[in-house]
Amino acid sequence: MRARKVITGENTVLPTISKHPGAVLFLASDAGDNLSKKARDKAKSYGCTLIDKYNTEQLSHAMGKQNRKIALCIDPGFNRLFRDNDVN
């Protein structure tokens, strides 16, 4: 987050996905239906890798913030690591 390679929050992430095709999108497994549909549609449209196996608490803890349901990683090296290791 300090290097500005991770973007969080629905109002920031969803418009930013189009600027970073191929990024990794983290979506909390317990996110609401509306957010889940929007995120899945955007990820599919822009070729983002979607990872939805973590819940809100796990995502929030990993980022050191509270109540995070969605995050977008735009770091190419990190994204390549997830795709190459077939994390999802």
Question: Among 53, 56, 54, which Cα is nearest to 66's?
Answer: 56
Report whether 8 contacts 71 (CB < 8 A).
yes
pLDDT in tens, 73-83: 999 888 888 77
Query: Model confidence over 30-52: pLDDT tens digits?
Result: 999 999 999 999 999 999 999 99
Tally Cβ neighbours within 10 Å of residue 77: 7
Domains present along the chain, CATH in parentheses: 6-71 (3.30.1330.30)
Q: Residue 86 above 70 pLDDT?
A: no
Q: Which percentage of the chain shows pLDDT scores above 90?
A: 72
Residue 75 in tokens: 């770091």
